[in-house]
DNA sequence: CAATATTAATCAATCGATTGATTCAGTCAA
DNA sequence: TTGACTGAATCAATCGATTGATTAATATTG
């Protein structure tokens, strides 16, 4: 039998952060205790103070850890076209479809793939709704690229609208998707379907169709109803 | 000088519930203490156990109180048309517009009108995202009419779609609006506009336009772009 | 009506449990 | 030896819950 993996020094810190993400996501900041988190990380609760200066520091570090891991995924999308460039509309249309797909897959990472990733997005969702005083800066930095990306695409797709209208549309697109992620448990209860959504691809297609129609980009749907 | 109003016995119970709604909405179930709630209600903390059997009972009663007060408002809308009846499409179209308006005004009751009402909807929003074990039954009963109403309208407006598609569309419509309500504070930070939305009517118009287009009901928008 | 008994409502005080934080002696590897 | 870490003990503070006493309103009785 193999011996337990050598416990590298830096490793404890990382285990604490991952255990914190899981526990904070399940029980919220007030509901989660540092004893429970430490036990989950197979570490001593005194290390929370030692490494992070306290519970609040651990929370901040956990959110920062999530933000760092996810930032690269948004940036990896092809950049939105310049408003005046040739073929900008078609590029922006494809960009919007790619964005919606990326947004959904980012948010809907299921526990089967990575338990921590799933908990991380649940935690972000909870924080967006009711930010802990400590988390506001981290959260703004995290959400900004998602927001800016859609706004840039909208400036190409709907140049006739003013910035306020662009903001409303951005929030409508993201809102539908965030609602699916944040209220998934409740939706399953309400609809009576415990394994909703059965197919993520169908869901992505729905968000894409609904949003592009909602945006009023008719060339994406030459004919809605015969 | 007039003496302080006589403190009717039943009144304390009601004051406790209202204080509970405010405090639970601000700090969550774990974050709010019965001492703070009692102090806010100018009552003794022992009365929480006396009247409601404990903190959990007070929470349950607070949610029930919200559910009871809001139930009548949904029911006051004109009933959705029968799928086969004459002029059903036009009636359903107007019904959908009325529903969206009612849903928005229900959710967006601002603190200026009634501090408790505003807190109540914030509390509901929080519970939908992460239901307390105690609240699931109350919450389902509360949300069911909202859900059923949209589904009934969709069966008329989009009879070509299956129930799963109807469910997705319902969640997209409600999701946008719930996201506005639940993340209002965050949106204000992110957009840099501290008094967003300036005009509720503009917002209602946006939700209506975006949703009806998204649903694919072309007669509502004979021409999206010239 | 008056005297008494009963119940509901409220209070201050306190309970044990748990919280986050801290301390400290000891382990282990570099 | 030094720095990273452990494990156990302990701290003050706060938590929800409970107690026993007190007041006010109501019912019962003579």
Note the CA–C1' distance, B123 to D25, in angstroms. Answer: 36
B129 touches chain A (CB under 8 A): yes
* Residues 45-104 of A, Cβ under 7 A from nucleic strand C: 45-46, 48-49, 54-56
Contact A225 B218 (CB under 8 A): yes
CATH number of the structural domain B10-67: 1.10.10.60
Helical residues (DSSP H) of B108-162, grouped into ranges: 115-129, 136-157
* Beta carbons of A206 and B165 less than 8 Å apart: yes
Q: Considering only CB atoms, which chain A residues are within 8 Å of B125?
A: 129
Q: With a cut of 50, say whether residue B149 has pLDDT above it.
A: yes
Q: Is the CB of residue B49 less than 8 Å from the CB of residue B75?
A: no
Q: Which nucleotides of C are covered by protein (CB under 7 A)?
A: 8-13, 18-24
* C-alpha to C-alpha distance for B119 and A124, rounded to whole angstroms: 22
CATH dotted code for B74-224: 1.10.357.10
- Asked if the model's pLDDT at residue B226 lies above 50, the reply is no
Mean of per-residue pLDDT scores for chain A: 87
Please state the rounded mean pLDDT for residues B142-166.
Answer: 95
Q: Measure, in angstroms, how far nucleotide D15 C1' is from residue A111 CA.
A: 33
| A203 reaches B (C-beta below 8 A) | yes
Q: Residue A215 pLDDT more than 90?
A: yes
**SS3 category, A199:** coil
Mean pLDDT, residues B183-200: 90
Higher per-residue confidence, B107 vs A9: B107
Name the nucleotide with the smallest C1'–CA separation from A49: C21
- Residue of A27, A128, A176 lying closest to B186 (CB–CB): A128
Chain B CB contacts of A174 under 8 Å are: 179
pLDDT of residue B94: 94
Closest CA to A118 of A185, A174, A203: A185
What residue spans define the domains of chain B? 10-67, 74-224
Q: Does B25 have pLDDT greater than 90?
A: yes
pLDDT, residue A36, reads 93
Distance (Å) from the alpha carbon of B9 to chain A's nearest alpha carbon: 34
Closest Cβ opposite residue B175 in set A139, A164, A176:
A176
pLDDT digits (tens, 9 = 90+) for A167-179: 999 999 999 999 9
CB spacing of A225 vs B216 below 8 angstroms:
yes
- pLDDT the model gives residue B1: 29
pLDDT digits (tens, 9 = 90+) for A63-108: 999 998 887 677 788 888 988 888 899 999 999 999 999 999 888 8
Nearest chain A residue to B151, by CA: A191
Whether residues A186 and B144 touch (CB distance < 8 A) is answered with no
Q: What is the Cα Rg of chain B in Å? A: 21
For residue B143, count other CB atoms closer than 10 A to its CB.
21
Cβ separation A129–B128 shorter than 8 A: no
Give me the pLDDT at residue B221, please. 65
* B33 vs A: CB within 8 A: no
* Shortest CA to C1' contact from A32: nucleotide: C19
- Three-class HEC string of chain A: CCCCCCCCHHHHHHHHHHHHHHHHHHHHHHHCCHHHHHHHCCCCCHHHHHHHCCHHHHHHHHHHHHHHHHHHHHHCCCCCCCCCCCCHHHHHHHHHHHHHHHHHHHHCCCCCCCHHHHHHHHHHHHHHHCCCCCCHHHHHHHHHHHHHHHHHHHHHHCCCCCHHHHHHHHHHHHHHHHHHHHCHHHHHHHHCCCCCCCCHHHHHHHHHHHHHHHHCCHHHCCCCCC
pLDDT confidence bin for A113, thresholds 50/70/90: confident
- Give the torsion through C-alpha atoms of A140, A145, A146, A148, to 10 deg: 100
For the stretch A15-47, pLDDT in tens is: 999 999 999 999 999 999 999 999 999 888 999
List the 60-119 stretch of B: residues with Cβ below 8 A of A. Answer: none
Structure tokens at B67: 């559910």
pLDDT of residue A5: 39
Measured distance CA(A35)–CA(A24) in Å, rounded: 12
User: What dihedral do alpha carbons A11, A13, A17, A19 form, nearest 10°?
Assistant: 70
Is the confidence at residue B95, as pLDDT, over 50? Answer: yes
Q: What integer pLDDT is reported at residue A68 of this predicted model?
A: 87
Assess whether B7 (CB) lies less than 7 A from strand C: yes
Q: Which nucleotides of D are covered by protein (CB under 7 A)?
A: 4-9, 14-20, 25
Closest residue (CA to C1') to nucleotide D8 in the complex: A44
């Amino acid at each position: 039998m193999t011996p337990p993996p050598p416990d590298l020094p830096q490793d404890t810190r990382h285990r604490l952060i991952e255990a914190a993400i899981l526990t904070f996501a399940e029980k919220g900041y007030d509901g989660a205790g540092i004893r429970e988190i430490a036990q989950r990380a197979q570490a001593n609760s005194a290390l929370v103070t030692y490494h992070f200066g306290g519970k609040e520091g651990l929370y901040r570090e956990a959110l920062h850890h999530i933000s760092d891991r996810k930032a690269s995924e948004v940036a990896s999308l092809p950049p939105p076209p310049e408003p005046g460039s040739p073929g900008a509309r078609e590029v922006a249309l494809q960009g919007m479809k790619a964005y919606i797909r990326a947004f959904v897959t980012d948010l809907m990472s299921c526990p089967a793939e990575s338990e921590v990733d799933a908990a991380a997005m649940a935690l972000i969702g909870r924080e967006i709704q009711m930010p802990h005083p400590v988390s506001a800066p981290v959260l703004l930095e995290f959400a900004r690229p998602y927001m800016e990306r859609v706004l840039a695409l909208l400036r190409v797709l709907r140049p006739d609208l003013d910035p306020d209208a662009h903001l409303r549309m951005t929030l409508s697109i993201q809102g539908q998707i965030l609602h699916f992620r944040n209220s998934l448990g409740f939706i399953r209860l309400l609809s009576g379907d415990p394994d909703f959504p059965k197919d993520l691809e169908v869901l992505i297609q729905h968000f894409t169709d609904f949003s592009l129609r909602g945006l009023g980009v008719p060339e994406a749907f030459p004919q809605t109803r015969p």
